[in-house]
Amino acid sequence: MEIKSVGVVGAGQMGNGIAHVMALAGFDVMLNDVSGDALEKARAIIEKNLDRQVSREKISAEERDTALARIRTTMELPDLGQTDLVIEAATEREEVKHKIFEGIVPHLKENTILTSNTSSISITRLASRTDRPEKFLGFHFMNPVPVMSLVELIRGIATDQETYEACLAVVEKLGKTAASAEDFPAFIVNRILVPMINEACYTLLEGVGNVRSIDQAMKLGANHPMGPLELADFIGLDTCLAIMNVLHEGLGDTKYRPCPLLSKYVEAGWLGRKTKRGFYDYRGDEPVPTR
């Protein structure tokens, strides 16, 4: 099937990025969130990011205007029912995702493909609670969506080939590259990346290095563009903890035990950039390490 319209559930950092790239690639987009304020903020962010692309001559002003015109917003989940592809991009909590799918399934067209942008949760399990496990796929974008060129496509045990190929065609139309992953906890990128962040947290907890020295060591010693603790703040410490919990519970290996220091930061509400404090304090002109 050819996909022409896309519904995006969740107008946060991932959702607005997905809406941005979909609209720019020519898809009609319906962006949904439970919060009207979140939808207004998302639209402003999309416009700002498109303006940046115009200023850098990545796109034309006409392309920006056309993309913005393709994006509609709604607080009503059933409004997404007539789209060809739905991408759920809500918080990384399985019960929330199940509730979203239960709310939208009765309103979907027969051939609508249902996907999740989850970074770690079982696609097979999410699909099993819907009426179309064969038309359910993991559609995992990297953050920030307009910049990163990779999309992980994750087939559940029931996902059919037609669904996979339709979503692969979408990724190609976006000008991005698809990596096919099997449905195991955290898939490919986060199976490797987040345990490295968790190990950096242990390195900090045990006093092997402080925040700045750990990040400098990995940037200059391993040529990483961002240090692991800086990256954790960018991703969100709550998201990192959620992924570690999925790995620990799903694989049953003690090497995936979440670092207690990571848990403490999350308990404190220090979730990184989005709360202005994490491993760094972002409330001043320059980020300052908190340990």
The reply, when asked if residue 119 is annotated as ligand binding, is yes
73 within 8 A of 19, measured Cβ to Cβ: no
Is 33 marked as a binding-site residue? Answer: yes
| 1 annotated as ligand-binding | no
Residue 51 counted as an annotated binding residue = no
Tell me if residue 141 falls in helix, strand or coil.
Answer: strand
Hey, what are 204's tokens? 């900090």
CB atoms under 10 Å from CB of 223, counted, come to 7
The response to whether 274 counts as a known ligand-binding position is yes
86-to-50, 190, 265 alpha-carbon distances in Å:
23, 23, 33
Tokens of 124: 């097979």
Q: Is 53 annotated as a binding residue?
A: no
* Ligand-binding site membership of 92 (annotated): yes
Q: Which of 73, 96, 95, 97 is nearest to 87 (CA)?
A: 97
Burial class (CB in 10 A: 0-12, 13-18, 19+), 106: exposed
Cβ-contact 130, 114 below 8 angstroms: yes
60 is in an annotated binding site: no
Does residue 143 have a known ligand-binding role?
yes
Residue 238, annotated as binding a ligand: no
Catalytic residues: 119, 140, 152, 190
Using an 8 Å Cβ cutoff, are 163 and 146 in contact? Answer: no
Is the bond preceding residue 289 a cis peptide, omega within 30 degrees? no
Question: Does 11 carry a binding-site annotation?
Answer: yes
Residue positions forming the annotated binding site? 10-15, 33, 92, 97, 119, 143, 274
Q: Pick out the residues of the known binding site for NAD(+).
A: 10-15, 33, 92, 97, 119, 143, 274
